[in-house]
Amino acid sequence: MRFDTESSLTQLNSSTPQKGLERPSFEQEREAETARIQRLHALLAAELELATAQARGMLAAQTGDEYSARWERDVSVHSWSERKAALAAARSGLCFGRLDHIDGSTAYIGRIGLTDPTDGESALTDWRAPAARPFYCATLASPLGVAVRRHFQLAGRAPLEHVETFHDDVFDGTAVAASTESASDPALLAALNAPRGSAMRDIVTTIQAEQDGIIRLPLSGTVVIEGGPGTGKTAVALHRVAYLLYSYREQLARRGVLVVGPSAGFIRYVGGVLPALGESSVAFTTPGRLRHGVVATALDPDGVAALKGDLVMLDVLRRAVADRQELPGTPITIELEDVTVEIDDATAAEARDRARATGLLHNAARTAFRDALGGLLVSQGVERINKELEDPPELAEILEELGDLPEIGVVGAAQVTAELRAEVREDLRAHPDFHATVERLWPRLTPERALADLYGSPARLATAGGDIDVAALHREGGSWTVADAPLLDELAELLGPVQAAQEGTGPDRRYAADVLASLDAADRDLAGEDPDELRASDFVTADLLAERQTPDSLMSVAERAAADRDWRYGHLVVDEAQELSAMDWHVLMRRCPSRSVTAVGDLAQRSAAAGAHTWDDVLAPHLGDRWTYRTLTVNYRTPTEIMDLAAEVLARFAPDRTPPESVRATGEHPWQRTVAPEALGDALHAAVDEEAAALGRGTLAVIAPDPAGLPDLSGTAAQVHTPVSAKGLEFDVVVIVDPERIEAHNPADLYVSITRATRRLGLMNVRR
């Protein structure tokens, strides 16, 4: 029997052959499916070639100086470049499944949607499309119109991928699976048993029903996904991002998505998942980077971190900024050419009140303070000069210089005053003491300077603290900590830029001005000439648009967002969300005003002193009770033998929490050894070498409470982590050093450490 890949494969692969037709053998079906997949690779290659040519052609196109032509070209280049990247990313593991529906139709499921140009029909269904949902959710109880679901396990490199084997799930109760595999999910078990690498893999081929239900939740609103170790929280969150970017492309394409992870190592580990799924409109950050331009990794003592993470710091920072708008205390004298003026508390207070009344941020209001103070001093100087000139002969002499005294009269006196004001103003404007005083009383402040000055001054801390004792924040110098990052960002909101952006005059600004002019013209066409009608130019300046332009290259949404502190994202993902403080959440919610948020975490794994004890602690100030809660209950990472030990630890510090249920067992129980402190180095080296030899391919980690106290392991296969830096990561083999000390510091840290292992676990106790 000949298998034609151009013909429909529905009948060929039907589990119930038509009368008079012999059932194809497993090998025949495997070859036919391989031919089909290679046909899909040919379609993808053709689309990729087209997208590449279009992107290059549009980029090279001459557009002249017309802004509209440049804009249209940039949009086209960006669109074709995105399509090219998505197609290239889909080449590996292009097609991983097939659905045979009860109505006789067939759909192949893969990483991207493809259309057959010969008939215009769908050749491959994107895994995120509604039509692909039964591939993940169909069950015997609810088959969702599916008779047979087929999972492919592929081998080889694109475009020569071939079907190594396949497994059928039969739902109609009459058909017999063509493969000889067991009733379990071999694709899932193969993925779980595979050696781990340095980067997380996507799970599009093995998404489970409870995960899929969360991935496909709508864009709007906030959802908290809680699950124990190994339940796939991170994978679900990342695949949810890919789903949202597919399903809500218009809403998210221009704003992008921000993913917040616990550490730079975690970001490196998961950073390749979304690009592998063809998505680039995603920026990554950590809590220590919430202040634009600051990379903080140091940690505060628990008490200090808890204070910095509390929302009371909002009032502390506001008072700290107000405290920098000072009064002189002792009067300050400035000797001008013709008069001496004096800045006392009353004069400075009046200038301060006028500046504050503008409602501007600190740095912007400084100009108002300077001008108000200058105006008051000019009036003071003129008044003092006038008193000195009250002797009529002197006044007459001045008026005579200005013109005919009888004809000038009152007008002449007013002119004298105006001239005097101008002279005093010029003298004051040029006097260095005046500017030094303005800087002293209302200084230009960066967030970094303001916070360093606050920490370094017990007096400033006492004033800013008010009724709150913040003396523990006092320190002299030192690097920024993770808990400082949201405080610095909040200060950026209170202070504003140090100086206003200079008006641009280059081609980017001209281009931006043309864009604004066009938007304004379009608005007028729609709204008429109503002067009260709001227009685009009322909100966006040409300078602001010019800052967004990149003359030499087209930046992705993620690149533009990462370079812009004021960027507002369309969706926010927070991983290890239990670790974030209330101040972290305050800053992040500002980044996502739509409150479209996916937060994943496990309260039982909280390590941070300022982290969430309940989800209400951190979400209620922003959302009230307007958020959705979902759980994941199945552990796909940790074998039963290791999870049993983790469950014992969990029961000791959180007996109300239920550990997730592992889906597999390996038969390898954790080993434990006890060594004397002086023998730890040799014993650890021996254990690492032993585990590495048994492991072969895969990853090995040593987790210790204080890696600095360990022997040098740089020449071994082991990565060295603390319980905190290992959070969110997974390794084939884990060796935990001094678990008793880890548990004494924080039992949750030991729970986290134990559940990092996917195959083998060793505990090296230190005798005391």
Question: Which tens digit of pLDDT belongs to each residue from 713-759?
Answer: 988 989 999 999 999 999 999 999 999 999 999 999 999 999 999 99
Q: Specify the pLDDT at position 55.
A: 82
Q: Is the pLDDT of residue 636 over 90?
A: yes
Contacts of 565 (CB under 8 A, 6+ apart): 292, 489, 492
Q: Specify the pLDDT at position 513.
A: 53
- d(C-alpha 691, C-alpha 246), whole Å: 43
Q: Specify the pLDDT at position 412.
A: 55
pTM score: 0.83
Q: Is the pLDDT of residue 579 over 90?
A: yes
| The pair of three-digit structure tokens given for residue 5, joined into one six-digit string | 């890949």
Report, as an integer, the average pLDDT of 350-368.
Answer: 97
Q: Is the pLDDT of residue 408 over 90?
A: no
Mean confidence (pLDDT) of the chain: 86
Q: Specify the pLDDT at position 194.
A: 86
Report, as an integer, the average pLDDT of 29-42.
Answer: 95
User: What count of Cα atoms within 13 Å lies in the side-chain half-sphere of residue 22?
Assistant: 6
CB 572 within 8 A of CB 598: yes
Q: Is the pLDDT of residue 397 over 70?
A: no
Three-state DSSP string of 309-339: CCCHHHHHHHHHHHHCCCCCCCCEEEECCCC
Strand partners, 481: 298
Nearest Cα residue to 497 out of 288, 256, 320, 293:
293
Q: Specify the pLDDT at position 501.
A: 38
Q: Specify the pLDDT at position 191.
A: 84
- d(C-alpha 763, C-alpha 728), whole Å: 20
Strand partners, 765: 674
- d(C-alpha 327, C-alpha 343), whole Å: 9
Q: pLDDT class for 112, splitting at 50, 70, 90? A: very high
Percent of the chain with pLDDT over 90: 68
Q: Specify the pLDDT at position 211.
A: 95
Q: pLDDT class for 186, splitting at 50, 70, 90? A: confident
501, with CB counted inside 10 A (0-12, 13-18, 19+), is: exposed
- d(C-alpha 619, C-alpha 285), whole Å: 20
Q: Specify the pLDDT at position 299.
A: 94
Report, as an integer, the average pLDDT of 239-253.
Answer: 94
Q: Specify the pLDDT at position 189.
A: 81
pLDDT-wise least confident of 186-200, 218-232, 300-314, 510-524: 510-524
CB 212 within 8 A of CB 135: no
Report, as an integer, the average pLDDT of 657-666.
Answer: 94
Q: Give the C-alpha distances (Å, rounded to integers) separating 690 from 155, 684, 687.
A: 31, 10, 5
pLDDT-wise least confident of 124-133, 246-255, 296-305, 622-631: 246-255
pLDDT-wise least confident of 421-435, 536-550, 611-625: 536-550
pLDDT-wise least confident of 49-58, 284-293, 624-633, 642-651: 49-58
Query: Among 198-207, 213-222, 383-392, 530-539, which range has the highest average pLDDT?
Result: 213-222
| The pair of three-digit structure tokens given for residue 263, joined into one six-digit string | 């550490």
User: What count of Cα atoms within 13 Å lies in the side-chain half-sphere of residue 460?
Assistant: 20
| C-alpha dihedral (287, 291, 292, 297), degrees to nearest 10 | -50
Q: pLDDT class for 8, splitting at 50, 70, 90? A: very low
Q: Specify the pLDDT at position 386.
A: 83
Q: Specify the pLDDT at position 414.
A: 65
Report, as an integer, the average pLDDT of 277-296.
Answer: 92
Contacts of 195 (CB under 8 A, 6+ apart): 695, 696, 697, 698, 699, 732
pLDDT-wise least confident of 70-84, 169-183, 335-349: 169-183
- d(C-alpha 287, C-alpha 260), whole Å: 7
**Burial call 49-63: b when 16+ CB within 10 Å, e when fewer:** eebbebbeebeeeee
Q: pLDDT class for 708, splitting at 50, 70, 90? A: confident
- d(C-alpha 633, C-alpha 662), whole Å: 9
Q: Is the pLDDT of residue 9 over 90?
A: no
Q: Specify the pLDDT at position 63.
A: 63
Q: pLDDT class for 65, splitting at 50, 70, 90? A: low
5, with CB counted inside 10 A (0-12, 13-18, 19+), is: middle
Q: Specify the pLDDT at position 532.
A: 38
**Burial call 687-712: b when 16+ CB within 10 Å, e when fewer:** bbeebeeebeebbbbbbbbeeeebee
Give residue 341's identity as a one-letter amino acid code.
Answer: V
